[in-house]
């Protein structure tokens, strides 16, 4: 899996940058469902961050359903590239919204209101 170093000048938190890079690798098929990821310490060394930053990112990805932690089997990819690609776009949207002064919950409310209006129109 090819992963890039983080940009410490980027306003996005380091663990979010790490998570985004792993999402990208999954979306582009560099890490396939069932495949084990390298240990957090190895990922940290390649990306130029602390191991705890990588562990925090891995927990975010686990909570999103992209990774699975199993004792004795390591960290495995369980999400699909398609799902990951969508998550990448969502992350881009959230980052853009943050730069525009919107909080995550406000973006979610906006998306829900747009979805209800569209789905309601389509069903009519």
For the question of whether the overall pTM of this predicted structure is more than 0.85, the answer is: no
Report the C-alpha gap between 121 and 13 in whole angstroms: 38
Kindly report the CATH number assigned to the domain that includes residue 116: 1.10.10.10
Domain that holds residue 75: 14-123
| Beta pairing partners, 69 | 75
Model pLDDT for residues 70-85, shown as the tens digit of each residue: 888 899 999 876 776 7
- Indicate the range of 28-37, 71-80, 87-96, 111-120 predicted with least confidence: 111-120
Residue from 52, 59, 50, 69 nearest 22 by CA? 59
Three-state SS string across 1-15, please?
Answer: CCCCCCCCCCCCCHH
What domain count does the chain have?
Answer: 1
């Amino acid at each position: 899996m090819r992963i890039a170093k983080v940009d410490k000048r980027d306003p996005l938190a380091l663990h979010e940058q790490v998570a985004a890079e792993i999402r990208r690798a999954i979306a582009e098929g560099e890490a396939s469902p069932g495949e084990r990821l390298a240990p957090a310490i190895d990922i940290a060394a390649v990306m130029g961050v602390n191991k705890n930053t990588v562990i925090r990112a891995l927990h975010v990805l686990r909570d999103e359903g992209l990774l699975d932690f199993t004792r004795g089997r390591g960290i495995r990819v369980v999400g699909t590239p398609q799902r990951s690609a969508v998550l990448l776009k969502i992350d881009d949207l959230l980052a853009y919204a943050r730069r525009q002064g919107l909080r995550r919950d406000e973006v979610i409310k906006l998306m829900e209101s747009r979805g209800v209006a569209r789905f309601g129109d389509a069903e009519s």
